[in-house]
Chains A and B, each alone.
Chain A
């Protein structure tokens, strides 16, 4: 095996894999913490919804669209000063998380908004007829009903984050992407490239499988 992968340092690969997990896991947590409320806000202020606010919705929607239309590679570079301000460094795992969160949050917020829109309007009406406040409607009715959709959204976001995290190797972000660029690309070590790509593929497959299982578990249909 080691003859086939002469350039591969398995300790490095292991460390890079762990780094990828940290980057994806860390940024996923912040993405959910920020994206979920943002998605709920988008939904509630949307057309014919509980807190309809056309001007506010349009502004929020515009900002989200702007962030989503910036190619992630550009966002990585543009974010460097902000990242340094937040984490003290633009390198490694810590340096990669802020741009990952900024890149993924608008994306995830849209997925949350869509999942909430999928909930039957009759559910909102029923909750209203019970005397629920808007807050109660969101927490006790909308979010539980949209949970399968939201979990599917988290899965898609996590997978997007895996590829974004790999991309952050370009600015020295660490993880498998960093390894692939420094060794696989810049030093022409094809074996390193293959190993990192296969590992990324496995991570994505596992994420998708776990996500699908959770969606099925929480769909009581």
Chain B
């Protein structure tokens, strides 16, 4: 659906070319929710804006639906942009227009819809995002979550195939973030819409994305299915994001357990394995005692996962380790 081929981008600052994005290659599949995570200044905003050419690449090919969009003329570009909706961190709604008029705007600008079509579509979209009763209000009268829902309705007005989300939940409180992410996930399912979202919150990625790319200083340093990257992050930047999202610090964790006797393991369960009574079984059969030092059980998109840090004392440690390794669980020996 979207294909970056050797795309790079630099900005001219005081006569010097400052690279924002180094040679980048990746593909976003049709119907997928693709996340890009990175710290501010990592180049994620640039990356997102290349897809609808709000930023022009300095070089490389960018294919959308098999078409090299960098070759489009201005008329072609406008048609392309109608196929790509976009929502923003600060919503960017027109304060001078009502909710309904904001949602209608892209259709009016396109100039190919009748008044009746626009009216029906606006009603349908407001219904979908749960704001039918707010149609005549102005954005200033809405809460942050409602504004982003208007943003989503507006982005969907011309029935796009792709939705770009620019830090869409970063200005929202946790509860509202949850409901907006839910809405994005539902829309992805219902419409088969391809979604590309950039964020600095691993939690947002974990809740809705299928795949994630970790961006660091203009380079993709890690990319893969969210479960893979989230549970087994390889690159230091990825590790930092994962630990941040769990309010942990990798170093501190090791310090904390220095006084704990025995062997320390980190077990990672994914999928149905999360619910098997593995720990108890192994303890009973090998005679080891265990204590849980840290842990979390949650979901990645819809799949459950668990991550436990445990200490093993006494019994047959070697045999216990063998049992864990044989089971459907990832084992990391911390100490």
Contact = CB atoms under 8 A, between A and B. Distances in A.
Interface string B77-90: 11111101110101
Interface stretch (B105-113, B119-127, B206-214, B268-276): B105-113
A122 B88 contact: yes
B326 interface: no
Contact of B78 (A123, A126, A133, A220): A133
A130 B96 contact: no
Contacts of B74: 133
Contacts of A212: none
Interface in B115-162: 138-140, 158
A187 interface: no
Interface stretch (A55-63, A90-98, A139-147, A197-205): A139-147
Interface in A112-165: 120, 122-123, 125-133, 136, 140-141, 144-145, 147
A188 interface: no
28 contacts: A122-B88, A122-B90, A122-B92, A123-B92, A123-B94, A125-B54, A125-B92, A126-B88, A126-B93, A128-B54, A129-B54, A129-B81, A129-B85, A130-B82, A130-B106, A130-B109, A130-B110, A130-B158, A131-B77, A131-B80, A131-B109, A132-B78, A133-B74, A140-B105, A144-B97, A145-B96, A147-B96, A220-B95
Contacts, number: 66
A10 interface: no
B85, B88, B106, B109 — most chain A CB neighbours (10 Å):
B109
Nearest to A144: B96
Nearest to A129: B86
B110 A131 contact: yes
Interface residues on B, range: 20 to 34
B118 to A, nearest CB: 13
Interface string B250-261: 000000000000
B11 to A, nearest CB: 12
List of 7 A-B pairs having minimum Cβ-Cβ separation, nearest first: A131-B81, A131-B78, A122-B92, A126-B92, A220-B138, A129-B86, A130-B106
B177 interface: no
Given A130-B109, A140-B105, A140-B108, A220 B88 contact: no
B81, B86, B88, B94 — most chain A CB neighbours (10 Å):
B94
Contacts of B46: none
B12 to A, nearest CB: 12
Nearest to B97: A144
A122 B93 CA distance: 9
B142 to A, nearest CB: 11
Contacts of B194: none
Given A125-B88, A126-B86, A144 B52 contact: no
B94 A144 contact: yes
B121 to A, nearest CB: 14
A132 B109 CA distance: 6
A145 B139 CA distance: 12
B94 A145 contact: yes
B97 to A, nearest CB: 7
Nearest to B109: A132
Nearest to B90: A122
A5 to B, nearest CB: 48
Contact of A140 (B54, B79, B81, B109): B109
Interface string A177-193: 00000000000000000
Contacts of B85: 129
Nearest to A132: B109
Contact of B81 (A120, A130, A145, A220): A130
Contacts of A147: 96
Interface string B46-73: 0000001010000000000000000000
Nearest to B157: A130
A218 interface: yes
Contacts of A130: 81-82, 105-106, 109-110, 158
B92 A220 contact: no
Contacts of A126: 86, 88, 92-93
A218 B96 contact: yes
A218 B52 CA distance: 33
Nearest to B84: A129
A120 B92 contact: yes
Contacts of A120: 90, 92
Contacts of A128: 54, 81
Nearest to B101: A144
A127, A140, A144, A220 — most chain B CB neighbours (10 Å):
A220
Given A122-B88, A122-B90, A127 B109 contact: yes
A128 B138 CA distance: 22
B53 to A, nearest CB: 9
Contact of B140 (A122, A129, A144, A221): A221
Contacts of B81: 128-131
Nearest to A221: B140
Contact of A145 (B95, B106, B158): B95
